[in-house]
A and B are shown apart, each in its own frame.
Chain A
Amino acid sequence: MNTSANSTTANNTTAGVVKHHVAHHFKSADQEFQSAKLGMWLFLTTEVLLFSGLFCAYLIFRVWYPETFALGSTLLDWRLGALNTLVLITSSFTMAWGVRNAQTNQFKALTINLAITFICAGIFMVVKYFEYTHKIHVGTLWGASFTAGGFEEPHLHIFFSIYFLMTGLHGFHVLIGMGVIAWLFVRSLKRHFYAEYFTPVEMVGLYWHLVDLIWIFLFPLLYLISGVKF
């Protein structure tokens, strides 16, 4: 970087950044960015359709066996679900803030926000770990693995099949999100992102918000069916 006195005063904010080179098949940085974004939105539609298959299964079985879902829901701890909702919403906020940091050359703030996003995702997975181990312990599992006794309701294994498939696929997405956020974190330390180039931050942000969005539906559909009691 040019470190002459003149340019440091004029160009202080972007000092030390690693400049991005626009790929040769793009006309401009803007075209490159918009193409990536279009591709990302198309990818997100496939993600929504992937999850919609599971939501559809949920819908069918809930209409067929409403009592099963009402009982199954009481076997989940809504407080843990609510905690995870707050954690994911917070992480979505810090992610969106991070994108803004990159757009406005706030390098330190970007790194901090990515770190908070990563930590929130980690908290989410830790809470899920406790939920899953409890279910493994009491035997409220999927399909034929359902070994918990003492229930009159004959279809509970279906509820837990759907619970584990939906939260499992979602949790898998959170893990992938943690991976790409860690990658962004390392690159942000190397100052790869600045006002003229922040494409990876924006794309990971879109992905992360979709993960948050799916949880927004999963939380009431799984945890809040039969009301909540303190």
Chain B
Amino acid sequence: MSEQEHHHAIPFKFLIRTFLTLLVLTVVTVLAAMVDFSHFNDAVKPLDMDFTPLNITLAMLIAIVKASLVATFFMGLRFDKKLNVSILVANVVFVFIFFAITLSDTLYRGIIDEVEGKKLQFESPVEAAKDKGSDSEH
């Protein structure tokens, strides 16, 4: 019986509550997408971007809560060893480092060009390939 005690079966009430919360949050995220927050955007616009920061922020917050619920209860991290928890946490941290470093390049390319007093002609490789493709067709 000592074998069994190592494997904590997750209580069913946690599973059903997690399931119901995930269903509710799916409805909430759809409802949140129906509301257009774009008229608030001038107040919160951090960069000169056209997409709606409030809508995407809300959608991502809900997604993060949903993902945390799945990891905590369905994947059982609530009852798991700290080592397994730390693997996932480190994983997420490194994903954010990956995003942050990449964005620090792609977001500020034009700005750096201005500081350096010259305009580097960055061309989208996708566009270039497409132009080339359409040229050869004609």
Contacts and interface: CB of A to CB of B under 8 A. Distances in A.
Given A34-B81, A227-B34, A41 B23 contact: no
A165 to B, nearest CB: 13
Interface residues of B, number: 59
B74 A96 contact: yes
Contact of B130 (A29, A144, A206): A144
A209 B130 CA distance: 38
A205 B10 CA distance: 13
Contacts of B30: 78, 82, 224, 228
Contacts of A62: 51
A140 interface: no
Interface in B3-31: 3-4, 6-7, 9-10, 12, 15-16, 18-19, 22-23, 26, 29-30
Contacts of A157: 126, 130
Contacts of A216: 63, 66-67, 70
A42 interface: yes
Given A38-B83, A56-B99, A143-B126, A97 B67 contact: no
Q: Specify the main secondary structure of chain B where it touches its partner.
A: helix
The range of chain A's interface size is: 35 or more
A52 B59 contact: no
Contacts of B99: 52, 55-56, 59
A216 B28 CA distance: 13
A143 B50 contact: no
A148 to B, nearest CB: 14
Contacts of A56: 98-99, 102
Contacts of A217: 60, 63, 67
A192 interface: no
A48 B90 CA distance: 11
B103 interface: yes
Q: Specify the main secondary structure of chain A where it touches its partner.
A: helix
Contact of A209 (B19, B63, B70, B92): B70
A30 interface: yes
B70 A213 contact: yes
A158 B124 CA distance: 11
A227 B36 contact: yes
B22 to A, nearest CB: 5
B88 interface: yes
A142 B18 CA distance: 36
A139 interface: no
A89 B102 CA distance: 31
Q: Across chains A and B, which 5 residue pairs bring their CB atoms closest together, nearest first? A: A224-B33, A220-B59, A103-B9, A66-B51, A93-B19
15 contacts: A44-B91, A56-B99, A60-B102, A63-B106, A82-B26, A89-B23, A92-B22, A95-B74, A100-B15, A144-B133, A161-B126, A216-B67, A219-B26, A224-B59, A227-B35
Interface of B: 3-4, 6-7, 9-10, 12, 15-16, 18-19, 22-23, 26, 29-30, 33-36, 49-51, 55-56, 59-60, 62-63, 66-67, 70-71, 73-76, 80-81, 83-84, 87-88, 90-92, 94-95, 98-99, 102-103, 106-107, 126-127, 129-130, 133
